[in-house]
Amino acid sequence: MATVIQEFQSAPMGKRVLIPTVISFAAVVLVLLVNLLIAFKAIPKDSATDRVALAVSPFVVLGIVLPMFLFERSKVSRFRIDENCLVLGKKRFPLQGAVEVRRDPDAMKWAIKLFANGGLGSLRGSFRSRRLGKFYAFMTGTENAVVVRWPDKTVVVSPADPEFFIYSARSAAGIR
């Protein structure tokens, strides 16, 4: 079993992440526009400070939502294998004892969020499905999903180059 130290780029955002992200941003913009229309009709024209405050308020909301998206996306943009340990943010999963590393684009099918971000910038946290049981996801899309399974836990990641990740993880785990 070789010692593996390698960093991996996450896959581009897939449909499972891109669609909720676009819908979230569209909903925020729509609500803000409706709010502006209603408020501008209700505020008298001679109240300039109220109108300025009202015009700036949507940017405050976008100033909160956009950094949340960027933060989530940056959390999963890279991950690594460091001395035969899969490192996902602050979580470490020793690859010794892993029994399976395989590509599975359907890993998230019918998965239910337990404690997770389910789509705004990433899929990150605890999920449950009939096929995989309880698992930890650290993904930007499902198209390049790779399942790493131990006897007692399962992790799903989405590397940009799944074949190279599988090769590296199997080498670190001592799996042929």
pLDDT tens for 125-152 read 999 999 999 999 999 989 999 999 999 9
> Higher confidence at residue 21 or residue 135?
135
Mean pLDDT of the chain: 88
pLDDT confidence of residue 117? 83
User: What is the per-residue pLDDT across 51-104, written as a single tens digit (0 to 9) for each?
Assistant: 777 777 777 777 887 888 788 778 888 999 999 999 998 999 999 999 999 999
Q: Which residue has the tokens 């989405």?
A: 158
**What is the DSSP pairing of strand 154-157 with strand 133-139?**
parallel
> Higher confidence at residue 57 or residue 14?
14
Model confidence at 108: pLDDT above 70: yes
Provide the whole-model pTM: 0.81
Give the pLDDT mean for 152-172.
Answer: 96
175 in Cβ contact with 100 (< 8 Å)? yes
Beta strands in the chain (DSSP E): 5-9, 78-82, 85-88, 91-94, 100-103, 112-118, 123-129, 133-139, 146-149, 154-157
User: What is the rounded distance in angstroms from the CA atom of residue 160 to the CA atom of residue 91?
Assistant: 20
Return the closest-CA partner of residue 148 out of 128, 130, 161, 162.
162
> Higher confidence at residue 163 or residue 13?
163
Structure tokens at 136: 């930890």
Return the closest-CA partner of residue 104 out of 147, 135, 137.
147
